[in-house]
Structure 1
Amino acid sequence: MEIQSNNLSTFRVLFIIKGIFNLLGALFFVGYGFFMNMLFSEVGHDASAPFEMSTFFGIISGLGFVVCLIFGIVTLIAAKYIGEAHNYTFVLIASIMNCLTGILGILLGVFTILEINKPHVKVLFDQNQ
């Protein structure tokens, strides 16, 4: 039987890097919310504005933080599963989720989907179920 190589270890490293970038993006939203809150609290509330701007930016930064945190954690867990060649469905869903996060995520997601759908790689995932 011929031994076929795969790129799972490379994808594992790339998923770790992408997960760290996602977590850094979450920190960006924390800083963004803090900065905007300070900026608009110094300006004060305009009586003609329909809502307070610091609350608006607080909600936006909070949502961005949660989304980036979830994407980062899911990506790091997928990196663990790729390294173990375990939990095929989770890796597939994490790859699809990464396709929503910009050009790096699209490239990583598409190439990971192509790699884990190769027959000899699917056999690895099936053996480790």
Structure 2
Amino acid sequence: MKAHKNLLRHLLLSRYEWVEQRMLARAARNGYGEVTAAMSRLFTHLGGRPVGLSELARRLGVSRQAVHQLAREAAALNLVEFVPSETDGRVKLLRFTQRGWAMSDSAAEEIEAIEAEIAQQIGAPALQTLRELLSQPWGPGER
């Protein structure tokens, strides 16, 4: 039986979890301790424009109901808000509140600090190589 700890999937997942643990600890230190790992993943898909819950569910690979529950929890923390779609009144979109944007800005600064920590451990050239490798398309549907 092959050891699973050296499989690419396991290595990628363990490194993702390493970053996520640091992000959540730093979020707590910056006053956002109520943010969960699931919320953090949701927030990664929010940007400058409101996004539909169905689209978020597709991006996250979970049910629309799961995204809606998560969005309600984040809205209760005043990090996101529901807004009507300009093109379809039946559709609700999700966007950051001002508090959510402040949290997002804080998270971006912390990601830079975590990347600096990684560069210190493995070297800036190795981090750049890693970034380049992970940026390449891995399948025919990616460009």
Normalized against structure 2, the TM-score is what? Answer: 0.29
Q: RCO higher in 1 or 2 (8 Å CA, sep ≥ 6)?
A: 1
Normalized against structure 1, the TM-score is what? Answer: 0.31
Structure in which a larger fraction of residues adopt strand: 2
Structure in which a larger fraction of residues adopt helix: 1
